[in-house]
């Protein structure tokens, strides 16, 4: 129930006045009914058949209606309540109480950061989002996730021309999964170039249902099982769901005793593509090509050394999880997995000049509060920016930074221009590759490990609309 039609997206006025009885026994009039949906950054929960009663002091929410209309469960605790997807048990929304009531504050149109509505050029969004085609930018613009000042189909991006040499065919999804982690696809890629972090390899895990992607750079293929163990623990802890089927190729990094034992002990179906028919693992292989296309384009655009590929990998993973998926009705993997709309206002162009604001405790009082850096992405364990200090050659993590997205510091120093041909090399699914060796110390997974939070900005809860339990 609500006291104003302003909260509704559709409204039907009833000609006859109806009355409802409220808590103290008195009666108040209702004028009509309407519907609405929670707006970003909240999950798009439906609120249907809302009664409009102008004399109502507080807006009230029927828990029964909310749970049945949206197939969600609600858990109350002393500090508030948690809304969970009924089937997956994945938390969708958390609300803390402020007294004896359970308020749910909805964002108004005034809530969203003003920068959301600052229209930026198509080029800026193209660069920030890893050089997607204009059709994807149009989808995001239509969804009001970003605001593009003017669209043009005639623009030419040199980095795309050099970076995306492989045109990927569009494939319909053959998946028939109905829940996250019913099937997880996996594949790996060997880099001929050693990364500055000491990586020669990366492995990906792709959830079939949501298209959400995790990548781990590794120093050695023999660390694949260790990365898988870390990944499956993450899924179990964060989503309280087991992986049911694991689909991979027949390479020795997967087809070995450690994997077989783990799957048998945990009831996990282990599905291999047949030798030399890697098309059966096509979804993961196509994803590797997509990732490498973005990695190559990001490095090209910023003129970064090829050995920075693991930073571009982390960035590509982040971006792919917030871009709409054509095979998922243009919903993003983040929306499908976390039930949250990703935010885009904090995005910046990979490899550009930036000045992170250094904490005053870390530097001499008279020293500069910042030094020129190169922006290398978003850290997995912090909200903020990963910045490469050009003088100390160290990575600085900062919540606050100034950016110049037209200057790319490495572009000045690279003559001749670096080659990124290594990213065209074949996929690593070599059945004759190295024999399984004992698991080594895990790689530092800090560069492209999955975020322990969805790629969204923190949720603010202004006291706009109070929803309480209907008695």
Binding residues for Zn ion, per CB under 5 A? 131, 157, 159-160
Cα separations (Å) of 400 from 102, 267, 370, 371, 385? 34, 46, 11, 13, 7
Q: Which is nearer to Zn ion, 131 or 311 (CB)?
A: 131
Q: Which is nearer to Zn ion, 140 or 401 (CB)?
A: 140
Shortest spacing between CB 160 and Zn ion, in angstroms: 3
Shortest spacing between CB 141 and Zn ion, in angstroms: 17
Q: Return the CA Rg of the chain.
A: 25
Shortest spacing between CB 331 and Zn ion, in angstroms: 24
Shortest spacing between CB 301 and Zn ion, in angstroms: 7
Tokens standing for residue 423: 């990213």
Q: Which is nearer to Zn ion, 163 or 197 (CB)?
A: 163
Shortest spacing between CB 377 and Zn ion, in angstroms: 17
Shortest spacing between CB 300 and Zn ion, in angstroms: 9
Sheet hosting strand 80-85, strand order edge to edge:
72-77, 80-85, 91-96
Q: Which is nearer to Zn ion, 131 or 221 (CB)?
A: 131
Tokens standing for residue 54: 């102008």
Cα separations (Å) of 147 from 31, 144, 150, 322? 37, 7, 9, 15
d(C-alpha 308, C-alpha 2), whole Å: 54
d(C-alpha 185, C-alpha 182), whole Å: 10
Q: Which is nearer to Zn ion, 66 or 129 (CB)?
A: 129
Q: Which is nearer to Zn ion, 131 or 226 (CB)?
A: 131
d(C-alpha 323, C-alpha 332), whole Å: 5
Q: Which residue has the closest beta carbon to Zn ion? A: 157
Shortest spacing between CB 302 and Zn ion, in angstroms: 12
Q: Which is nearer to Zn ion, 131 or 348 (CB)?
A: 131
Q: Which is nearer to Zn ion, 1 or 294 (CB)?
A: 294
Shortest spacing between CB 211 and Zn ion, in angstroms: 22
Shortest spacing between CB 274 and Zn ion, in angstroms: 37
d(C-alpha 455, C-alpha 145), whole Å: 13
Shortest spacing between CB 299 and Zn ion, in angstroms: 12
What is the longest distance spanned by two Cα atoms in the chain? 82
d(C-alpha 400, C-alpha 324), whole Å: 27
CA 112 remoteness from chain centre: 19
Shortest spacing between CB 136 and Zn ion, in angstroms: 12
Q: Which is nearer to Zn ion, 120 or 469 (CB)?
A: 120
Q: Which is nearer to Zn ion, 279 or 417 (CB)?
A: 417
Q: Which is nearer to Zn ion, 184 or 423 (CB)?
A: 423
What string of DSSP letters covers 310-358? Answer: HHHHHHHHHHHTTSPBGGGTTB-HHHHHHS-----TT---TT-EEEE--
d(C-alpha 305, C-alpha 196), whole Å: 10
Sheet hosting strand 245-248, strand order edge to edge:
213-218, 201-207, 183-190, 245-248, 269-272
Identify any residues that bridge with 397 across adjacent strands, giving them in sequence order. 386
Shortest spacing between CB 235 and Zn ion, in angstroms: 33
Q: Which is nearer to Zn ion, 107 or 132 (CB)?
A: 132
Helix (H/G/I), strand (E/B), else coil: 2 = strand
d(C-alpha 416, C-alpha 418), whole Å: 6
DSSP state of 245: E
Identify any residues that bridge with 52 across adjacent strands, giving them in sequence order. 2, 32
d(C-alpha 325, C-alpha 52), whole Å: 37
β-bridge pairing 395-398 and 385-389: antiparallel
């Amino acid at each position: 129930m609500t006291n104003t039609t302003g909260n509704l997206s559709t409204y039907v006025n009833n000609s006859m006045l109806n009355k409802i009885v409220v808590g103290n026994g008195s009666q108040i009039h209702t004028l009509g009914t309407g519907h609405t949906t929670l707006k970003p950054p909240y999950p798009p929960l439906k609120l249907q058949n809302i009664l409009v009663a102008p004399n109502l002091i507080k807006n009230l929410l029927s828990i029964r209606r909310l749970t049945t209309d949206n197939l969600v469960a609600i858990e109350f605790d002393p500090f508030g309540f948690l809304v969970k997807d009924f089937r997956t048990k994945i938390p969708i929304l958390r609300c803390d109480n402020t007294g004896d009531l359970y308020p749910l504050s909805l964002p108004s149109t005034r809530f969203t950061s003003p920068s959301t509505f600052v229209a930026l050029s198509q080029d800026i969004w193209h660069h920030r989002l890893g050089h997607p085609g204009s059709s994807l930018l149009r989808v995001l613009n239509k969804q009001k996730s970003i605001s593009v000042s003017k669209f043009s189909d005639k623009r030419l991006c040199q980095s795309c021309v050099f970076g995306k040499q492989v045109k990927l065919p569009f494939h319909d999804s053959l998946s028939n999964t109905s829940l996250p982690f019913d099937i997880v696809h996996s594949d790996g890629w060997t880099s001929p170039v050693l990364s500055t972090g000491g990586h020669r390899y990366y492995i990906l895990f792709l959830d079939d249902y949501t298209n959400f992607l995790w990548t781990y750079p590794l120093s050695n293929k023999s660390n694949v099982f260790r990365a898988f163990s870390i990944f499956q623990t993450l899924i179990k802890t964060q989503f309280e769901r087991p992986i049911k089927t694991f689909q991979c190729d027949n390479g020795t990094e997967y087809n070995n005793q450690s994997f077989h034992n783990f799957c048998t002990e945990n009831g996990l179906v282990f599905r291999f593509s047949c030798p030399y028919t890697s098309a059966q693992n096509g979804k993961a292989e196509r994803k590797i090509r997509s990732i490498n296309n973005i990695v190559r384009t990001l490095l090209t655009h910023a003129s970064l050394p090829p050995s920075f590929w693991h930073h571009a990998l982390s960035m590509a993973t982040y971006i792919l999880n917030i871009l709409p998926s054509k095979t998922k009705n243009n919903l993003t993997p983040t929306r499908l997995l976390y039930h949250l709309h990703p935010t885009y206002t904090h995005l910046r162009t990979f490899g550009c000049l930036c000045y992170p604001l250094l904490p005053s405790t870390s530097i001499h009082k008279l020293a500069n509060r910042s030094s020129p850096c190169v922006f290398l992405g978003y850290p997995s364990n912090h909200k903020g920016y990963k910045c490469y200090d050009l003088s100390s050659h160290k990575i600085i993590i900062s919540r606050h930074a100034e950016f110049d997205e037209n200057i790319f510091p490495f572009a000045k120093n690279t003559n001749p221009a670096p080659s990124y041909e290594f990213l065209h090399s074949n996929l690593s699914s070599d059945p004759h590759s190295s024999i399984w060796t004992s698991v080594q110390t895990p790689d530092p997974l800090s560069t492209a490990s999955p975020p322990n939070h969805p790629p969204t900005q923190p949720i603010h809860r202004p006291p706009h609309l109070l929803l309480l339990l209907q008695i």
